[in-house]
Structure 1
């Protein structure tokens, strides 16, 4: 009988420590945008998170420190969500549908703040 082991999970205290350091900055949930009406559906939210991760990849910002996939209960079913840093939350909101009043207002406020500081 031939057996193979695809993946052996070895407890690595250093990796656990680094993960816990990254996790402490993940204070927001992407699904909060649904509650604030910044996204209208889970698919729209997923697309906004994807665009936000693309921004981070382009700028070499570590994803592990800003995004973490989690699963939560929503209306009696288990759905994918993301724990986000504050920066990742704002990037996700900024990358949602700009025809949405919440998103448009956030974009406008960010531009006003940038112009005010220059």
Structure 2
């Protein structure tokens, strides 16, 4: 960030950024812990597909995804803070041969069918 950027970034911009971040209540790595993805590569692919869905539908990425770095097994790895919607999109875009992912996908479809 340069001096020019600092002067342009107003308190209102900071407030809006903070408000958007307050909705980022999930971590993508939670999917690893729930064994919905087998490794970071598979998780990265699911997140990429979820962001593509958001881009296609013009959903603001900064309100739903934020790259963060966390310690995992003694090393620093990339993770993502996500909104609940982004997390569910990530699960929907994970490997459906995984029992956890398939179960969640089926539950989401059944819930949608009950509400139609």
TM-score interval, normalised by the smaller of the two chains = over 0.9
Deviation sequence 1:45-83 (CA, Å, 0-9, x none): 000000000000111111010000000000000000000
RMSD: 1.0
Matches within 5 A, 1:33-112: 33-112=31-110
Farther-moved stretch of structure 1 (7-16 vs 17-26): 7-16
Once residues 82 and 101 of structure 1 are traced to their aligned partners in structure 2, the CA distance between those partners, rounded to angstroms, is 23
- TM-score computed with the length of structure 2 as normaliser: 0.93
SS at match of 1:37: coil
SS at match of 2:32: helix
- CA drift of 1:117 comes to 1.1
Residue 25 (structure 1) aligned with residue 23 (structure 2):
yes
- The runs of at least 4 consecutive aligned structure 1 residues that moved more than 4 Å come to none
Structure with max Cα Rg: 1
Once residues 114 and 28 of structure 1 are traced to their aligned partners in structure 2, the CA distance between those partners, rounded to angstroms, is 22
- TM-score computed with the length of structure 1 as normaliser: 0.91
Once residues 81 and 19 of structure 1 are traced to their aligned partners in structure 2, the CA distance between those partners, rounded to angstroms, is 19
Match of 1:10 in 2: 6
